[in-house]
């Protein structure tokens, strides 16, 4: 993963964490809703792994947020 890609994954993770917390969910609760492990959820939020679009879309559905919002990378 390049440094530029890492920054994008990091912002995606921060956005996911923001909306998750806004909905009052823990990482464990969100992970259970979308059927992934809490560890995987944590790694997504800290940009420690790549994430598939299937998982991103599941997160969007669980958080009632559009993909556009998760990919809104403000500088």
Residues 16-74: tens digit of each pLDDT: 999 999 999 999 999 999 999 999 999 999 999 999 999 999 999 999 999 999 999 87
DSSP 66: -
pLDDT of residue 53: 96
Q: Is residue 75 part of a domain?
A: no
List of residues 6+ apart from 47 with CB closer than 8 A: 6, 9, 10, 12, 13
pLDDT of residue 54: 97
CATH number at residue 44: 1.10.260.40
Structure tokens at 57: 């879309």
pLDDT of residue 75: 62
Provide the domain limits for residue 22.
Answer: 3-70
Structure tokens at 4: 């530029």
- What's the domain count of the chain? 1
Q: Is residue 19 part of a domain?
A: yes
CA 49, distance to chain mean position in Å, is 11
pLDDT of residue 1: 81
Q: Is residue 57 part of a domain?
A: yes
DSSP labels, 44-64: HHTT-S---HHHHHHHHHHHT
pLDDT of residue 47: 95
């Amino acid at each position: 993963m390049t440094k530029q890609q890492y920054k994008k994954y990091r912002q995606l993770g921060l956005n996911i964490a923001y909306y998750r917390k806004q909905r009052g969910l823990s990482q464990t609760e969100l992970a259970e809703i979308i059927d992934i492990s809490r560890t995987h959820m944590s790694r997504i939020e800290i940009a420690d792994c790549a994430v598939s679009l299937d998982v991103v879309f599941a997160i969007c559905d669980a958080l009632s947020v559009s993909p556009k919002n998760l990919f809104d990378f403000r500088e």
